[in-house]
Structure formats: structure tokens, C-alpha cells
Amino acid sequence: MRHLLTGFEFSQDEYLDILETASAMKKDPAKFRQELAGRSGAIMFEKPSLRTRTTFELAFYRLGGHGVYLDLQNGELGKRETIADYSRNLCRWVDCLVGRVFSQRTLEELAQYGSVPVINALSDLYHPAQAMADYMTIQEHLGKIKGVKVAYVGDGNNVTNSLFVAGAILGANVTSFNPENCTPDAVVFSKASEIARKNGCTIAVENDISKLKDFDVVYTDTWVSMGDNTPLDAVRKKFNPYQVNKDLVDQSGAQIVMHCLPAHRGYEITDEVMDGNKSVVFDEAENRLHIHMAVLAKLINA
Ligand code: CP
């Protein structure tokens, strides 16, 4: 049985297989309508979502299965009963657990005590399926992933961590430009760097935004992560040099601009860039669906 908890679980061949399957599902969805016939999953969210929730539910539906949404926004996992018991119950009924959680530890416990695949739909540390959809989008727009130079600009967060992990495995060169003390997780960075070294690519962290030159992709995300109630205006001064605006995109040389969404227009990204001809943000959002279909099929049918 396989899980998708961090993104480190899969080899390069397996990533490529998921991306290829997702593309085939995007091209000809009718061919896959019975892929998960009679199978089901629990979709548990401790945090809000538009894209991830919608696309996981639709992914089950489009593959002939059924996703049961469990709203945990008013009752964190482990409060009403232990996470272990929660997992043991669900695994008697469903074939997969999809979880958006505050703590990565919650997903690990679900996997430890359960008997079906667990998929990370965002935790404090990782957003692995998001990164898969992102690299699928890069492949579609630039025709390759290996050797592509990706600049993540802004707050080093779970999305940055997952761009590092998937990028290192797929052979992309990923640099994260962040203010000091807003860098991605050091342990994830170290593990991803080791994989990148073996795959002949690089993972880097940089504070100096003047070094944002000669990149293929510029990627950004919110300056304040979900669950952190700091007002965006309170961090504006620190992050302003990292705002993805036209000048920064021109400086970078990037062909495409990405954002996992939701966007905070006028903060981490300007309207001009978000709505400009280099923006592929809604392609990324669309690809969430195709990647989720491919991941569910791979893990449930394993
Ligand atoms: N990118 C992303 O995970 O979007 P949602 O929070 O809307 O699911």
C-alpha cells in the first residue's frame, strides 16, 4: 500500500507516470469513467478550500467512484475521538483517505493506524499534489521539466517545500527567493538537495531578489499561510521587494508566471501580472483535477 504524505515517496519514473496518466485523463476522460467504479474515499478538511476540495470530489466522480466530504473546520481531527480510532473507522468503509490538516503528524497518524492509502491535500509542511499539478503545467507550457529554472518568490511555505521535493525528483532547478527568516523548511531543503544532487539539478534558497535573473518560471503564493491570522498589511513592508509585479517578471526573464491560488491581488502578485499573457494560474488550477484523478487511480488501484 502506498501513501502520498510528503511527495518523497515516489521515484522519478512514478512521478512521470502520474503526470502522463493525468495528461491522458485530461485528453480523453471518457476512457477512465470506470477506473474507480465502486470505490470510495473520505475527503477530510480542517481548513478551507476551493480548488483542492472541488477537484478531489470531482476526481472520484469522474473515475466512477464516490468521495465523501467530511467538514472538520469546526472540529479538528482528534478532538471528538482519537485520530487512530477515526482512521480505523473510516478504513472499514472507504478505500482512501484524503486530508487537509493543520499538522503533518495528523496525516502520519491516519496512515499509521489505517489500512488504506492516505493522501496529503495540504499540511503545515507539504502540498504534494499541488506540486504535481504545477510541474504538469510547466511541462505543458515549456515542453519539459528537466533543466527548467523555477524561481519561487515570497514566503517559504508548504508549497515551496513541495516544489523543492517534486522539482528535485523530476530534475528541475528550483530557487526560493525569500526574506530572511521566511525560508522553506530546512530539513525538507536538505533532503531535496540530496536528491537534486543525484539527479543533476539544484535546489537553492536566496534572499537577494536582485539575483532573480535568467529563470523560466516565476511562482508565488500568499505571504501569510492559511491558519495564520496576521493581517497581510502587517507583513507588506518585509515582502514588498518580493511582490511579483511586471518589473520583477521582466527582470526574471520568465516565460510563465504561476500561483497556486487563492491570490491576494495587490500583495504577492499584481493584477497586471495575474491577468497578463504570461500567467498560467488557471491552467494550474485546472490541472489539479487531472492530477488528483491520476493519484487516486494509482494509489487505490495499486
Ligand atoms: N491551491 C489550493 O490548495 O487551493 P485551495 O486552498 O482552494 O484548495
Residue 128's SS3 state is helix
Give me the count of residues in the chain: 302
Give me the catalytic one of 185, 260, 290, 292.
Answer: 260
Question: What pLDDT does residue 196 have?
Answer: 98
> Of ligand 1's atoms, which has the minimum distance to the CA of residue 50?
7
Tens of pLDDT, residue by residue over 98-112, are: 999 999 999 999 999
Please list the ranges in the chain whose pLDDT falls under 70: none
Cα of 270 from ligand 1 centre, angstroms: 19
CA–CA gap between residue 148 and residue 141 (Å, rounded): 11
Question: What pLDDT does residue 151 have?
Answer: 98
Question: What pLDDT does residue 227 have?
Answer: 80
Question: What pLDDT does residue 76 have?
Answer: 82
Backbone angles phi and psi of 173, in degrees to 5: -100, 115
CB distance 258 to ligand 1 below 6 Å: no
As given in the structure block, the three cell numbers for residue 262 are 487563492
Question: What pLDDT does residue 129 have?
Answer: 98
275 is catalytic: no
Give me the catalytic one of 221, 243, 259, 292.
Answer: 221
Using alpha carbons, select from 80, 14, 200 the residue that is nearest to residue 22. Answer: 14
Question: What pLDDT does residue 200 have?
Answer: 98
Residue whose CA lies nearest to ligand 1 atom number 6: 49
> What letters, b where the CB count within 10 A reaches 16 and e where it falls short, cover 31-55?
ebeebbeebbbbbbbbbebebbbeb
Residue 42's SS3 state is strand
CA–CA gap between residue 28 and residue 17 (Å, rounded): 16
Question: What pLDDT does residue 225 have?
Answer: 86
CB distance 261 to ligand 1 below 6 Å: yes
CB distance 131 to ligand 1 below 6 Å: no
CB distance 169 to ligand 1 below 6 Å: no
39 is catalytic: no
Question: What pLDDT does residue 293 have?
Answer: 98
221 is catalytic: yes
